[in-house]
Structure 1
């Protein structure tokens, strides 16, 4: 992955979420590269946990969220937190 953005968490050592241009489109022109997200876990050798660090295409990730919402797989408190985050994001952009 060609990482463009990353967030780390002080309470989760070695864990981060990364966004960037996908590994599978690395040889494509910039405007044709696929965007992806990765759940990253560093291991003792500096690599990634193969069970938890796979790259997911952005379109697939969005579909996973929408389908999880439709099937009521989120707890109400999670939905409330997401709604607040969405609201905050929308307010920043206007």
Structure 2
């Protein structure tokens, strides 16, 4: 994965977006976890296509696996994205 954006979460955990490792024309997203020596742990840092986010989020929501707070955070971020894209 060729990272274009990175967002630290906490304690060596970050979320990254970039060019997919399997297709230079596709985008992917992953959790990234540092190892004890500061390296990158590929086992715990899964990468998947951006397009998988919608079915994953919908499935979790349909089974009430997201808290109200988590739902509100997602709704807020999506609303802000819609506003930016409509400019």
TM-score (ref. length: structure 1): 0.73
SS of 2:28's equivalent in the other structure is strand
Distance 1:38 1:79 in 2: 20
Aligned residue-pair number: 85
SS of 1:24's equivalent in the other structure is coil
User: What are the superposed Cα offsets for residues 42-76 of structure 1, whole Å, 9 maximum, x if unpaired?
Assistant: 111512151x2011111223211122122222111
Superposition RMSD on alpha carbons, in Å?
1.9
Distance 1:74 1:5 in 2: 25
Distance 2:26 2:83 in 1: 28
Distance 2:39 2:31 in 1: 15
User: What are the superposed Cα offsets for residues 6-25 of structure 1, whole Å, 9 maximum, x if unpaired?
Assistant: 1113xx23211100111112
**Counterpart mapping for 1:75-86 below 5 A:** 75-86=67-78
> Which runs of no fewer than 5 residues in structure 1 stay unpaired?
27-32
